[in-house]
Amino acid sequence: MTGEVSERVLRNGVNDGFLVSEAAQPGTPGALALEQMQKIASGGNWRYIGSQPRGKMEIPAYYGEEGKRKKMGRFLMKLYYLLTIPISLGILLHSKRIHPAYRLTWWKKIVFGLRVVRNRHRLRTANSYKPLLVMALKLFELSPEVSGVVVECGTFKGGTAASLSLACKIVGRKLIVCDSFQGLPPRDSLDRFAAKYKPGDFCGSLDEVRANITKYGDIGSCEFVQGWFQDTLPHLDRKIVLAFIDVDLEASLNTCVLNLWPRLVDEGYVFIDEYMSTDYCALFFSERYWKENFNRNPPGIIGAGSGLALGEYYIGPWGERKDHPLQHATGSAYTRKSMSGYWAYYPSDARG
Ligand SMILES: C[S@@+](CC[C@H](N)C(=O)[O-])C[C@H]1O[C@@H](n2cnc3c(N)ncnc32)[C@H](O)[C@@H]1O
């Protein structure tokens, strides 16, 4: 099918389809389709990004045979997603290490898991429910005798924080939600990831985040720290058992690690969201970074480059995922204070 692309619609940040030039002429099927899409885009997870003239080009057919195949592919993915929810809940929340003090029966775990799945669909977030379950499990496994808070750096609309707050309620810990509440900061010229984003992207106001957590999480477990990380985190004088750093920018990741790592307890975890980028994960393997800042070997990071294997098929690399429509990276990556990821192995200078 060939035509002039005039409009584009994104769903969950994924290019979801094109409307062709008939859209411009009133009364044509294209115009009706445009009207429909604008209606859909104004609610739910859809984001309408307006007119994007692109000139003549080959357009992926949305109708006809190819369209049917696409719809079928999507239907199968949704079916797979739905059918695997109980399996994922069962597998990801099963552990012989869950601390008995939390009295987590299977029923409580399933109710918790279903609330996390629901939050994923009610609140705007790009994160899957599965990494959330992994973080929750790590919290359920930690002894209540280990004191410390949970920190989320980078909250957007509070989609992940709402679910993390539910886990915090179960384990009786505070969740400290840190964000500018005005989106991403101005670009740092040394940041290799800054060009992908604009200052102000991913903006969620404090009021919005509070309202979302009140509705879908446990606001009583939360404290909020508003401001740029370089100004706020140096004053965060708390022991930390788990930090979720979801900040997109390399410069922000650096600020978070420099300030949070010294406060992380020995059994503590750091989770990140940008697991798919090996450059981003390099910080956790850099001998020089860890020697100069913390006088230790790097901790490494489990899931770097591909994400934790959480039941989806993802072969990578990230930039080619559109060519593999049935693949889906549902991941996260984490490190633990006591882990080692020394990345310059040579037999004669290998160290324990
Ligand atoms: C991708 S969003 C977080 C998504 C969120 N965790 C979720 O699950 O929906 C990135 C967030 O990091 C925040 N952020 C990034 N760098 C920051 C900095 N240096 N200081 C304060 N906030 C920052 C932005 O305001 C934004 O809310």
Q: Do residues 28 and 116 both lie within one domain? A: no
Probe residue for ligand 1, chosen from 164, 252, 272 as the CB with the greatest number of ligand atoms within 8 Å: 252
Please name the residue whose Cα sits nearest to atom 12 of ligand 1. Answer: 154
Taking CB atoms and a 6 Å cutoff, what residues make up the pocket around ligand 1?
125, 127, 154-156, 159-160, 179-180, 183-185, 202, 204, 228-229, 246-249, 252
Same-domain check for residues 249 and 208: yes
Same domain, 108 and 170: yes
The CA distance from 290 to 310, in Å, is 29
Task: Say if residue 50 is in the same domain as residue 199.
Answer: no
User: 83: phi > 0 → left, psi -120 to 50 → alpha, else beta; which?
Assistant: alpha
Q: 306 C-alpha to center of ligand 1: Å?
A: 22
Domain-located, residue 229? yes
User: Would you say residue 80 lies in a domain?
Assistant: no
How far away, in angstroms, is 200 Cα from ligand 1 center?
A: 10
Query: 259: Cβ–Cβ under 8 A, 6 or more apart, which residues?
Result: 229, 233, 234, 236
- Alpha-carbon distance of 135 to 129, in angstroms, equals 10
The CA 203 to ligand 1 mean position distance, Å, reads 8
Residue 50, domain extent: 2-62
pLDDT of residue 3: 36
Tell me the two tokens of residue 69.
Answer: 């195949």
Co-location of 39 and 101 in the same domain: no
Enter the pTM of the model.
0.82
pLDDT in 10s for each residue of the chain, 352 residues: 333 333 444 333 333 444 433 344 555 555 555 555 555 444 443 344 444 443 333 444 455 777 888 888 889 888 988 999 999 999 999 999 999 999 999 999 999 999 999 999 999 887 889 999 999 999 999 999 999 999 999 999 999 999 999 999 999 999 999 999 999 999 998 899 999 999 999 999 999 999 999 999 999 999 999 999 999 999 999 999 999 999 999 999 999 999 999 999 999 999 999 998 999 999 999 999 999 999 999 999 999 988 898 888 887 788 887 887 777 887 899 999 999 888 887 777 665 5
DSSP-based three-state secondary structure for 24: helix
Radius of gyration of the chain (CA): 22
Q: Whose CA is nearest to atom 9 of ligand 1?
A: 125
> How many angstroms does the Cα of residue 229 sit away from the middle of ligand 1?
10
Both 91 and 237 in one domain: the answer is yes
Considering the domain architecture, whether residues 56 and 199 belong to the same structural domain is answered as no
In a domain, 68, yes or no: no
Determine, yes or no, domain membership for 232: yes
- How many separate domains does the chain show? 2
